[in-house]
Structure 1
Amino acid sequence: MLAAAAVCPCPPLLVPEVAAGAAAELGDLRTACADALSVLAAARPDRLVVVGPAEGSGIAAHPQGSTGSFRPVGVDREVRLGPGEPPAADRAGAGLPPALAVGGWLLERAAWGSAPVEGLGVGESLDPERCAAAGRELAATAERVALLVLGDGSACRTVKAPGYLDERATGFDAGVARALAAADTAALAALDPGTAASLLAAGRAPWQVLAGAAATAGLEGRLLYEDAPYGVGYFVAVWS
């Protein structure tokens, strides 16, 4: 059963080496993420699954020890998803999708050691029903499951945002923030994939995995951070 969940954004700029001279601008966001990870550790889970967006419409599991890199954004920095040897696929050149690499960095920063870790890359176009089913399956895998759910809100909040300004973006993100604050699984499950895609909201599918996992868990929510630096909606929340 789902014992706790933390929701964090996944921009590579969270990593100070990637942000470089702008690292201080996201200091409050990093602090909120650290606070969320401490809630997961306090829940004493038997298993932690890091769920984040990936390309395509499928689901891909990444075992403990999987590696990721920030070389695609110009920084020679590797991360690992928990302790252990990298799987053969990683040694052959595969690895964590970017969002899960950020998750690996968050866990390294938190010195996570509370439970075994694995990752789940969820295709950004995965339909809501499959997202919910994946969440239910995760929740049933151990007596106490924790999720670190990664995903950004709309990237269309301002004219300087990656997707330029879309007037719908603020309302979309406000609805997500309310749902995360209230642990409202029905509201997350009802997010429209087409609208989310048009607003470049990469968190839609992972949030709907969370909704499936938490549907019968009776958790309470708390929003720790909500802002849109760089015109992208970022949320940090905990459910416990």
Structure 2
Amino acid sequence: MFVAAALCPCPPLLVPEVAAGAAPELDPLRTACLDAVGVLAAARPDRLVVLGPVAGSGTEAYPQGAVGSFCGVGVDLEVALGAAEEAPGSALPQSLAVGAWLLSRADWDDAPVQGLAVGEDLPPERCLAAGREAAASAPRVALLVMGDGSACRTVKAPGYLDARAEGFDTAAARALGTADLPALGALDAALARELQARGRACWQVLAGAAEGTSPSGRLLREEAPYGVGYFVATWS
């Protein structure tokens, strides 16, 4: 059963070693993310599922102890998902590596951890079904949901300026901050793809996980420092 969620953005720049000289700019965002993870610990879950967006239209699970690396962005740094265990298999995708880094900063040892990579093109109905499955995997399930809003807020954004981006992000922030399950489920997958909003699928997995519950939401932070929408929220 779903009991809590923390929603955080997943840019590698969240990791200070990657951000280098720009690291102080994101300190308030990092603090908000760690505050959100604290809500997960307070919920006393039996299992924590970390969701992270990846390219494609499927899902892939990763066990506790799976390792991710930031070598692809020029930093010799590895992180493990939850408490270190022998976990052979594929390396964590970057979004889950950022989630693993957050958990390491929070000294997470409150419950076993599983990673779930969610394809950015996964259709909404399959996202909702994946969420229901995750919520049914343990008596008390918490989710750490990694994902960004649109990448089209300014001319210098990765996707350039798109007039629709601010409206999409405003609606997403409202839904995340109020735990509005129908609004999240109704996010337009095609529009999210055009706006490079990587969080859409993971947010809809969360909506599926929380079905049948009445969570309260709180938006801790909303910003777009590089033309990309970043949101931090908690559900409990």
> Which band: TM-score by shorter chain?
over 0.9
Q: Note the 1:1-240 alignment, pairs <5 A.
A: 1-89=1-89, 94-240=90-236
Which one-letter code corresponds to 1:66 in the other structure? A
Give the TM-score taking structure 1 as reference length.
0.97
How far apart, CA to CA, are the structure 2 residues paired with 1:102 and 1:86?
20
Give the TM-score taking structure 2 as reference length.
0.99
How far apart, CA to CA, are the structure 2 residues paired with 1:52 and 1:189?
17
Q: How far does residue 84 in structure 1 lie from its aligned partner after superposition? A: 3.0
Equivalenced residue count is 236
Identical residues among aligned pairs (%): 69
Q: Which runs of 5+ in 2 are unaligned?
A: none
Matched-pair contact (CA < 8 Å) for 2:96–2:115: yes
**Root-mean-square deviation (Å):** 0.7
Which one-letter code corresponds to 2:60 in the other structure? A
Q: How far does residue 87 in structure 1 lie from its aligned partner after superposition? A: 2.2
How far apart, CA to CA, are the structure 1 residues paired with 2:38 and 2:75?
27
Runs of 4+ in 1 over 3 A off after TM superposition: none
Deviations 1:95-151 (A, max 9, x none): 001100000000000000100001000011000000000000111111110000000
How far apart, CA to CA, are the structure 1 residues paired with 2:211 and 2:221?
23
Q: Which runs of 5+ in 1 are unaligned?
A: none
What secondary structure does 1:119 align onto? Answer: strand
How far apart, CA to CA, are the structure 2 residues paired with 1:65 and 1:212?
26
How far apart, CA to CA, are the structure 1 residues paired with 2:84 and 2:29?
29
How far apart, CA to CA, are the structure 2 residues paired with 1:19 and 1:154?
20
Q: How far does residue 181 in structure 1 lie from its aligned partner after superposition? A: 1.1
Matched-pair contact (CA < 8 Å) for 2:66–2:88: no
